Structure 1
Amino acid sequence: MSVGLGPAAHPKGAPMQYEQQSPPDATLVKAQGRQEVLYTLTDRLHRAQACEDVLDASFWALIRGLSCDRAAVLLMDASATLHVAASHGLSEHYGRSVQAHSPWAPTDPDPRPICLGSLRDDVPGNFRDATLAEGVAAIAFIPLTLDGRLIGEFMVCFDAPHRFDAADIEFALTVARQLAFSMGHLRDLARLRDTQEQLMTMFNVISVGMAEVETTSRRLKRVNLPLCKLLGFTEDELLARMLDDLIHPDDRARHAGAYDRLLASAEPYAIEQRFVRKDGQAVWVLVTANVIRDGPRRRVYATIHDIDQRKHAEQALQRAAEVDAFRLQLADTLRALSDPARIQTEAAGLLGRHLHVGRCYHCSVTAEGTTGIITRDYVAPGRRSAVGTYHLEAFGARLLERLHAGQVVSVADVCSEATLSVDELAAYEVLDVRAFVSVPLVKDGRLVAVFSVDCPEPRAWTPADIALVRETAERTWIALERARTQRALVAHADQFHTLLEHTPIGVCLVDADLVLRELNPVARAAIGNVAGGVLGRGLVEIMHSLYEGPRAEEIVRGFRRTLETGQPFIEPERAERRIDRDRTEHYAWRLDRIRLSDGRFGVVCYFRNVGAQVEARQLIEQSRDALRESEQRLRLIVEGARDFAIILLDAEGRITRWNSGARNLLGYDSEEVIGRHEGLIFTPEDRADFAPQQEIARALDDGRAINERWHVRKDGSRFWGSGLLMTLRRSDERPSGFVKIMQDRTAARLAEERLRETDRRKDEFIAMLAHELRNPLAPITNAVRLLQRDPSDNPVQQEARTIIERQVRRLARLVDDLLDISRITTGRVRLQRARIDMRAVIERAVESIRPSIEQQRHSLECEVSQEPIWVCADAVRLEQVVVNLLSNAAKYTEPGGRIELGLRREGEQAVVTVRDTGIGIEPALLPHVFDLFTQAERTMARSYGGLGIGLALVRRLVQMHGGTITAHSTVGEGSEFIVRLPTTAPAHGVHRPAPAASSLQAAAQRLRMLVVDDNADAARSLALLLTAAGHEVRVAYDGLEALEAAHAFRPDLAFVDIGLPQLDGYEVARRLKADPALSGIELAAVSGYGQVEDRRRSRAAGFRAHLVKPAGFAQVEQFIGEVLEDRT
């Protein structure tokens, strides 16, 4: 187009020419066709991916709907210039001629369509000529607008004049609107893609962690690489988690509040918290979160900055500042203290509160190095004090060796310390200690003290913690040493002044000007009352008031000479005339020069009245005569004691006197032993163990030492000597020697050993007897159980079964008591301590003894604490204590009586009381009621039964738990027994495993079982019970037969007696477990022995369970139930 085209050529509002309406039917068909075109256009635009697709679809719709010959789309660029974007039927020359022109101004707020039906008639000028030259006779311009702004135009051309009606214009505008909308949509999509690409580029390139979070579920939707690296997860691993999964449990509540506020108010937040890495380590991060709205949707984006180093640096600075403040406070506190007790208390309190530990204390170690004494400690709220005396080896011999070597001992968890035994762990459990740090103080190669902190829960002690404990310990010991030194100085000063005040020697002090400054009482009494007093007056004046002129001058010259030369002046006894008293007195003098506190010299004068020595010498001579006479009488007595060896030793243990009894007993003459050490009469092994030196040390400490040991005569024969070593002391209490008195007690010793051997054999016999009594109990028990399975309703049979079962239980308890007494007297009982609630012990004991009480028609009243009472004890043994006391009460109470059982707490003790309304205890018997084989007197009218060992067993078990038991009774009014046990701290998170399913009747699975026992009745009765329970059972009677039966029968379970002929039960178990074909058999040991060592041996051999004869069938059922539960 060569003509200009603009608003002047086509003024706004130019009349539009519309052709006449077509007949109605033609119009309807035309409208329907255009509607179909618009439907198709909408579908194509919906699927359009690019501008070309939009233009193609719009061109097609425009040409198809208007049936025009030619068309073009012109789009406006950023400079408001039109460019042909697409055309149909128009030449490129024409397109270039019109693309720079528009019928509307770029800023026209409301451009309207312009239609020219006939260029020959309607439009003059260049535009008409150019358009006609192109072959166009009619043209319409349709504006393209988007968001109220002109973006381009449609050109619709016809080769012949054309009348544009309203439907044509409306159709063209509809296409134009859809074109503009689609172009805008594609533009927005392109911008969105650009924005997303930029965002993702920034998301992945930025050096801090970033994440997109689902608003409601808080699941991670998108994470970047820096966040993955920070936390150690892969991207997939993080996307499978929620944001809360990454936050440290202690920080989740604080973060949840901030997150909820973010969603409620869209207010961004920044919070410092800890995330948990994949390896479980915590890392400090700064989380900044914001909400971004995407239409109706909300997205939460978070940035995660790694601030771990900064946070740790801040924490380190804070800890350093806290430690510095602690050190300053500790130094200020200790500097002001001089009382050792206050020093220990304050230092322990400061360190305990600073480290947040349970306890902190200073433990003094006795001279032998095995006993620790804690007199005061810091105790955190809720913990109990550790004040007391302790045997240090009970807490770990190897740990004690390290302390003796001067090594600091730190333990993060005593339960994980491999060097501690079960008993040593129990010692820590009693004190509620799980972690501790101990710093030793070693002086001259000896452990003298330990400074410790401990916690009731495991704690990983840092090097800084250990260093601070060590520093506090050292500062405490320095302060203690300073305080003790100060006290010693004060004590020495007090002692010096006391000495001056009480010494019989006169002491006076003059300064450099010979002015009298100090006098002790003796000096004041010697000088006498001088008018105006003597202190502060000149020596010359005083001496002239006491002595005549020449003697006074002589004394003053002596003072001056010593003051000037420093040479002492000594004057022996001399009679002097005192003019003030008009009598002669005898004095001895000594003058010494000393330096006074002002830096100058002074003179101290010591003098004594020797006039009394004459009388003293006379008294000494009289005393010597009396001493000689006394020594003669003593010598006669010592030499006459021929049945006793009396030996005098000097302070070093060398023999100084040897009486005839010693010669008769040991074979040495006095000339052979005088001057030799007493160790020559000790055995070589005792000398190697330094027994002579230890005996002397005990005598020095206690004044006497008992001497009971084997000794050696001159001829090498040995005898058992019994006697004492006593310390002899001078008048000043210093030891001057020892006297040993000894007698030959060999015959009595050998008799005692024979008696002990007889007693040991008796105990072994009782133990074997009790063990053998167990064997028949097992088949009797099983037989009763078989009879109980008989559905017979015969009341006589039922009563008979009940009696047999009750008596078997009673016999079993008697055998148990007999065995326990044997074990205790032979020292083979070891407690299996654990932290338990005494209420559970009471409950189990009552259930155990209830049938016996009900059988005698007693009423049992229980008053048990509502709160848990925790003790560190063997639950089985304490249950045995309560059962025995209740059984004793039932036995000695007439039928229909009342028994009261109580449990309460008193301070740090658990108190169990058993009271009955029985016959009571005779006063003569009451002190011996806990002795072995002691019973109330039997009568023809009533025999109470039993062996007389129940209460003896009770007392021993209570004592083994560190408790006490007392008995109170009045004849005819019943008895009361009171047990007191030490309590321990409450248990935290005690795990109580659920009881395993143990009912054979509930087991739907039929099992193959092998019973092995050389007691045929026991084996057959157990087999019958198991068969009655629905299982297939085989029986073997010795070890070899058991192995053959196992190979042939292939059982699922086997009950094996330990004491078998051919092969014992241990060897049978080992061979079964070693055979691959039989290793799957579950084994239960059946034995008359049930101590810890017995159970350990059975576990080591391969047994899963250890049943003690007579094993109740409930225990058998429980074992089978556990096996079935494992298999399901």
Structure 2
Amino acid sequence: VVAALLSVVFADYYFFSPYRSFGVPTGNDALVITVFLVSAMVISRVSGVHRGTQAKADLLARQLTARAEELQGELEAGQRLTEELEATNEELAATNEQLEAANEYEAQRGHLFTLAASLARAVTPNDVAGIVFREGLAAAGADGGSVGVVVDDPAGERHVTMLHSAGYGEETMAAFQQFPLVPGRPVSDAIISGAPVLIGSLREWEARYPSTYPAVATLGYESFAAVPVMIAGKAVAAISFSFRGPRAFNAGTVAFLETLASVSGQALERARAFDAEHRAHERTSLIVESVTDGFVALDRDMRYTYVNRRAAEMWNRSTDELLGRTPAEVFADVEGIERSPSVVALARVLADRTPAAVEHFSVALRRWIELRAYPSGEGGVVAFFQDITARRRAQDASSFLADASQLLGSSTDYRETLTNLAHAAVPRLGDWCAVDVLRDPGSTQWPPALDRVAVVHQDPAKIALGAELTAAYPTDWTQEGGFPGVIRTGTPFYIPEVTDAMLMAGARDARHLELLRALQFRSIMVVPLTARDRVLGAMTLCMTESGRTYDEADLALAQDLARRAGAAVDAARLLRDAELANAAKTEFLRTISHELRQPINATISFLELWELGVRGPLDDQLRDDLARMQRNQRHLQRLIEDLLSFTRLDAGQLTIGRQAVPMREVLTSLESIMAPQMEAAGLTFEIAACSPDLELVGDQGRVVQIGVNLLTNALRATAAGGRVRIECARDGDATVIVVSDTGVGIPADRLDHIFSPFTQLGRALNAPKEGAGLGLAISRGLAEVMGGSLTATSAVGIGSTFVLRLPAAEQAVTRR
């Protein structure tokens, strides 16, 4: 419509007059408009139809083009799908291979896990070899295989010895049971090179190892693998696998075999170390078990980790009761076990890491033990225990008996001695010690009269309880045994362990039982004091609060001690009696000497008056008789003087002067006294010259007396024609006077007796000798009082020599 209207306007403007201008519309114009309108409509319809057809054609073309494009796309998609399918197939194939590899890996890993678990339980190299062979064969899927170890023989050559094998005939297994480690065999090459040897087919077998190819082919195997087992970079064994078909050994398989060999090597090294440790432990255990000492090992928490048989026996407990427990737990019933010297020493070693040693009496064991403890490498401690009871008892007994002997010999007062002995016995021999002595051992009175000379305990309160017990409940002397039995028969009374039942049975009433329990008696010994087959008393020893008990060795020691104490008591009593007798004898000698001295002096005076002629003239015969009487009187006077000197010496009442004495004066006096007698006896009397300055310190008269005694003794012992010699000299801080003779001599067994009072050699009733046998005894006594000594040497048939040593003048020591 618009196009028609525009066309009418255009035609009117250009084709109808007035041209190029718009005029008033006319009917023609309407006709024209209608014609144009119809034409326009027709044209428009035609154009519309054309456009529709064209549009349809275009649409169809587009649809065809799109379809073609779709088809092309589908074609390309089909091509891509084909490619994808091919790729998928390849992926599936690869996946299958991976799955197979994964399954194989999982199977191998499972076998490795099984192998590792089994190897963890293996403790010996043979166990490891067996597990590796069994699990390795299954893991590799092999049809045959072997495990061999390298062995060095004494000649220095190396061999491979098969420990396990399977899948081969007996003949082959016997032939290859052991073979030299030389190149040319796959197993040997794997060990020598330290790398796996892999053979995938028979052709490869023939090419690489032609010498073994026929045997392999005969057995029906085609492929083979040998891997070395390494320890510290050195091949010590090899694992081999045989397969009946060809086999491609990929990297995974090789890695598996190497892993298998590595795990096996670690297990073998561990097993060897364990085996070596086990053998060392067995050797150590054998040594430790064979020793007589107890041996234990404790960890850092002081728990027992090892206890040998001897230690378990010492502690009277089984090993199971000890292992894993501490000493405090094992000995929980022992009070104060944590303060035991052994436990303290073990704790000190754990803390300081330094060795320690201790000896002590173990209350837990009731024995003396010696502990030697050393730190161990695991932070713990090892210790040796030795039962030293026998040794300690022997040492203590020896030491105690030595001390006791010294005590028993220290005083002649046996009461004081026994008291000291009782104090020494506590606590070494017991917690209690009491000593009772019979007043008169020879009396038959019953009950006997006793004196308790000592009661010793370290606790005064216990002594008070003991006194109350003794006062309230005195000894029942009607008993056959116990203390009365010891006094009556001299047989020891011994109770190794006192039980409460014993106390109850022996208690006379409730208070008696209360006192017995309060004293805590654990063990008792009562031993007799004896001497010369007589009972002199008894010693009572008791163990109480210390917890110790007596045994047969203690009883033997107590009896030995009691015998020594009895001997000391007997000796003290004998000495007392002897001293009384000696005092009586001395008093008698002193009295008789004084009584004889007066008439003898009077007789001498009368004889002197006769000699002077007061009573008238004397003829030669009378003068000769008078001289004999005077000699006998002088001899008797000397005897009396000797008796008086001896009694004064023995009583300690002799007066001794102390001054410098010139030796020349002493020798001059001796010469004047003894020279005539020597000449009369037909003896040669020699006086050696001495230094004019030589002096001694003493009593000059007593020195001359000693010299006279010695020279007189020499004169009596020497026959006519013999020689007597006296000499003097300085010897250090002493002045020495030596008197020697050529007389009969003194037998060696009598030399020690010549200085005893009233002793003379060769004295007999049919051959009396002059003197009372006091001269040498008095001479030695005088020498000792003056601070010197008198000794003698002699040889029968040759003569005797007496040596008097007295202090030199400047070396004098003041003496009373």
TM-score normalised by L of structure 2: 0.43
More strand by share: 1
Q: Which has the higher contact order (CA 8 A, sep 6+)?
A: 2
Q: Which one has the largest radius of gyration?
A: 2
